[in-house]
């Protein structure tokens, strides 16, 4: 359970309509049929063809609207503008941003708009900040409802990390000073916290090859062998439909598995045998357990 800040913070909700015509935040729309899609980006730059694919997957080329959730960012209003610019460049102008704050309020008209969005886009920043605001509340419920109705739920960097049910926080329990890489494979060091739970059968990591985070996912699959670890590099994404994932973008996706449940501890060092590593390139597809 996340600890909520005391008191009632105000809501900075920005309905940023870049070219607004006969459309309102609360207008219901028809999204993709039956079930949604996850569009999980490993951080870094987003190539134009990646943004175009996101728009197509969400059906925004024919209708509907996108909602940007910037709460991971320390500059949320700017995060909305930066994300919106990429959609504008692709000719998609039906974009709005809601910056919910810790403790609420969570106006029902904004929650309804989130539920009815064709695309929900979660910005980068700090995944812990995002989850402290949304965990087990109306925003998290609305994201799940949108997904169940067929929306695309997208996220980059921190917005990728929150997709897992078991979320990598980015912090180490033994070494409190933040390190962007993860230089050890040790027991009881990896900190996990509840994420959105849109993926329950894997742990997501991001900026993966660029920041050499291999040790972090190796630790994850040694301590949680029932879950594969999916490391997505920068400027790269996986498009997840059901239990199938497609790699798109410019780099690689690495998947660590521990099929035998191997785990040994010597002092605080972790060991294990017969781990499996698959390295996927753009265009490859794989099955998420």
Instruction: Tell me: do 172 and 88 sit in the same domain.
Output: no
Domain final residue pick, 129, 157, 185: 157
Residue 2's pLDDT is: 58
Q: Measure the CA–CA gap between 270 and 185, rounded to whole angstroms.
A: 6
Domain that holds residue 190: 163-232+251-289
Instruction: Tell me: do 288 and 170 sit in the same domain.
Output: yes
Q: Measure the CA–CA gap between 248 and 238, rounded to whole angstroms.
A: 6
Q: Measure the CA–CA gap between 209 and 75, rounded to whole angstroms.
A: 26
Residue 104's pLDDT is: 87
Instruction: Tell me: do 167 and 288 sit in the same domain.
Output: yes
Give the 3-state secondary structure of residue 235. coil
Domain final residue pick, 94, 122, 157: 157
Q: Which of 207, 214, 235, 251 is an active site residue?
A: 207
Whole-prediction pTM value?
0.90
Tokens of 152: 């695309």
Instruction: Tell me: do 137 and 173 sit in the same domain.
Output: no
Identify whether the C-beta of residue 15 lies closer than 8 Å to the C-beta of residue 94: no
Distances (CA, A) of 116 to 42, 100, 103: 26, 17, 23
Task: Read off the CATH number of the domain in which 260 is found.
Answer: 3.40.50.880
Residues 257-275 have pLDDT tens digits of 999 999 999 999 999 999 9
Q: Report which of 153, 167, 148, 137 is spatially closest to residue 33, judged by C-alpha positions.
A: 148
Q: Measure the CA–CA gap between 198 and 201, rounded to whole angstroms.
A: 9
Domain final residue pick, 157, 173, 191: 157
Q: Is residue 78 annotated as part of the catalytic site, yes or no?
A: no
Q: Is residue 21 annotated as part of the catalytic site, yes or no?
A: no
Identify whether the C-beta of residue 219 lies closer than 8 Å to the C-beta of residue 183: no
Instruction: Tell me: do 92 and 148 sit in the same domain.
Output: yes
Instruction: Tell me: do 145 and 220 sit in the same domain.
Output: no
Instruction: Tell me: do 15 and 143 sit in the same domain.
Output: yes
Q: Which residues contact 176 (CB under 8 A, 6 or more apart)?
A: none
Q: Which of 172, 186, 223, 234 is an active site residue?
A: 234
pLDDT higher than threshold 60 for residue 28: no
Among 23-27, 147-151, 236-240, which is the least confidently predicted range? 23-27
Average pLDDT over residues 112-128: 98
Q: Is residue 1 part of a domain?
A: no
Q: Which of 73, 84, 113, 157 is an active site residue?
A: 157
Identify whether the C-beta of residue 221 lies closer than 8 Å to the C-beta of residue 227: yes
pLDDT higher than threshold 70 for residue 246: yes
Residue 16's pLDDT is: 44
Average pLDDT over residues 43-49: 95
Average pLDDT over residues 123-149: 97
Q: Is residue 157 annotated as part of the catalytic site, yes or no?
A: yes
Identify whether the C-beta of residue 221 lies closer than 8 Å to the C-beta of residue 257: yes
Instruction: Tell me: do 124 and 182 sit in the same domain.
Output: no
Task: Please count the structural domains in the chain.
Answer: 2
Q: Is residue 26 part of a domain?
A: no
Residue 180's pLDDT is: 86
Helix (H) or strand (E) holding 40: strand 37-41
pLDDT higher than threshold 50 for residue 32: no
Instruction: Tell me: do 117 and 173 sit in the same domain.
Output: no
Instruction: Tell me: do 178 and 210 sit in the same domain.
Output: yes
pLDDT above 90 coverage of the chain, percent: 85
Instruction: Tell me: do 217 and 104 sit in the same domain.
Output: no
Q: Is residue 241 part of a domain?
A: no
């Amino acid at each position: 359970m996340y600890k909520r800040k005391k008191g009632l913070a105000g809501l900075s909700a920005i309905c940023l309509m870049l070219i607004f015509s006969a459309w309102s935040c609360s207008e219901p729309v028809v999204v993709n049929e039956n079930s949604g899609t996850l569009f999980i980006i490993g951080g870094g730059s987003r190539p134009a063809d990646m943004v175009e694919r996101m728009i197509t997957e969400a059906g925004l080329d024919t209708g509907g609207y996108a909602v940007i959730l910037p709460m991971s960012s320390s500059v949320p209003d700017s995060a909305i503008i930066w994300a919106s610019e990429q959609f504008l460049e692709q000719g998609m102008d039906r974009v709005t941003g809601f910056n919910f704050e810790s403790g609420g309020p969570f106006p029902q008209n904004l929650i309804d708009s989130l539920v009815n969005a064709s695309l929900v886009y979660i910005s980068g920043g700090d995944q812990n900040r995002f989850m402290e605001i949304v965990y087990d509340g109306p925003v998290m419920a609305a994201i799940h409802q949108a997904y169940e109705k067929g929306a695309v739920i997208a996220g980059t960097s921190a917005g990728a990390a929150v997709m897992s049910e078991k979320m990598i926080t980015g912090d180490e329990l033994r070494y409190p000073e933040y390190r962007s890489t993860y230089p050890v494979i040790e027991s009881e060091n990896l900190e996990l916290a509840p994420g959105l739970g849109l993926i329950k059968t894997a742990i997501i990591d991001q900026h993966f090859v660029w920041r050499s985070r291999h040790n972090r996912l190796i630790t994850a699959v040694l301590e949680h062998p029932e879950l594969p670890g999916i490391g997505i590099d920068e400027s790269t994404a996986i498009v997840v439909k059901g239990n199938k994932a497609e790699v798109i973008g410019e780099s690689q996706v690495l998947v660590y598995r521990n099929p035998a449940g191997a785990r040994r501890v010597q002092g605080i060092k972790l060991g294990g045998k017969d781990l499996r590593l698959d390295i996927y390139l753009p265009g490859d597809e794989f099955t998420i357990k």
